[in-house]
Every structure is written in C-alpha cells, then in structure tokens.
C-alpha cells in the first residue's frame, strides 16, 4: 500500500468534497415531512399489533 503525504491527502479530500451534491432546502423539507408521516403511521401500526398481541396473551392467561 502506497503512502500518501498529508498535502496530497488534503488535496484528495478537497477534490472529493467538490463532488458532493447537497440536497436543496425543499428536498430536505420534503424528506423530513415524509419521515415524520411514516414514523406516525408505523408507530400506530405497531401500537395496534402490540395491543392485539397483549389482548390475546391476557385472554390465554385468563384460561389457565
């Protein structure tokens, strides 16, 4: 493995940094809203599943 000098490393990092395409404010906002909506939907789904399994387990334990 070839050694890289610190100066060459910094130049490579800058070159790679110039290739980065940052999302616009609109894309970031849209993505954040989508994540929030999905979080609410999934939390309600898992609340329902957990409540159903809890009810089934309570019913099974009441039979014993």
The per-residue pLDDT string of the chain (64 residues; one tens digit each, 9 = 90 and over) reads: 678 899 999 999 999 999 999 999 999 999 999 999 999 999 999 999 999 999 999 999 999 7
- In the numeric block, the tokens 């409540």 are attached to 51
The answer to whether the pTM exceeds 0.75 is no
In order of 6, 7, 13, 25, 47, the CA distances from 20 in angstroms are 22, 21, 11, 16, 39
């Amino acid at each position: 493995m070839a050694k890289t000098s610190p100066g060459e490393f910094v130049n490579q990092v800058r070159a790679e940094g110039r290739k980065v395409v940052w999302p616009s404010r609109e894309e970031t906002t849209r993505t954040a809203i989508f994540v929030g909506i999905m979080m609410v939907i999934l939390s309600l789904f898992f609340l329902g599943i957990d409540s159903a399994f809890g009810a089934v387990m309570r019913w099974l334990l009441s039979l014993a």
